[in-house]
Amino acid sequence: MVEQLKLVSIRGRMAYGIACLKQVLKQTNNNQPILHLLLDRLTEFVEKDRLDLWEQRIGEVVPYAILDTHPDNIFENYKTISVEEVLKLKTLYESMPNAITDLIDDVVNIGESNLYGGVDQYSQNTLDAILAVLEKMKNLALNPPDIMPYLSSPFSENGGWGYTKNMTGFM
């Protein structure tokens, strides 16, 4: 699996991570409607070029941000999500097993880990992040989706990033 993942672009790895997350959420009955905010924003990484905007938007819906108890974490200051939506996500994340909220953070890490650094021969940072997702799936006794559709976004494209692609193109 590692050798196959090395062949997949960073965007393809993110798409695969999203597919893994969706499968986990469905199979563990944690697929609540409010999660569309998270899943839609994760998908923007794969489908859009503006990763700077993606970073801001994803940062306001992830568990590690919403569950942060630091006094400076003021939901009213969030720019891309309402306080009501944040509170719904907070309630949901608090009710989820840590393994799933950690998995969500790992999927986000696929996108964040190479945003400001150069891409090396196969992006070890994003490879480590997708492997962490797969390890969590294994710990939950769940099999990952087939990797083959994600090979359609090769690491050889666009300096390792792969080109933007509609998520349905991986199905």
Banded model confidence at residue 154, pLDDT cuts 50, 70, 90: very high
Q: Give the Cα separation of 35 and 25 in Å (integer).
A: 10
Please report which helix (H) or strand (E) contains residue 32, including its range: none
The sign of the dihedral angle between the CA atoms of 9, 115, 98, 30 is negative
pTM of the entire predicted model: 0.94
Tokens of 137: 């799936």
The mean pLDDT value of the chain amounts to 93
Q: How many CB atoms lie within 10 A of CB 103?
A: 27
Q: What is the pLDDT at residue 10?
A: 95
Which pLDDT value is given to residue 115?
A: 78
pLDDT digits (tens, 9 = 90+) for 52-96: 899 999 999 999 999 999 999 899 999 999 999 999 999 999 999
Residue 122's closest CA among 4, 13, 6? 6
Distance CA 119, CA 114 (A): 7
The predicted pLDDT at position 142 comes to 94
Confidence of residue 46 (pLDDT cuts 50, 70, 90): very high
Query: Quick one: tokens of 62?
Result: 């992830």
Q: Is the dihedral of CA 10, 13, 17, 23 positive or negative?
A: positive
pLDDT of 12 reads: 96
pLDDT of 11 above 90: yes
Q: What's the pLDDT score for residue 120?
A: 81
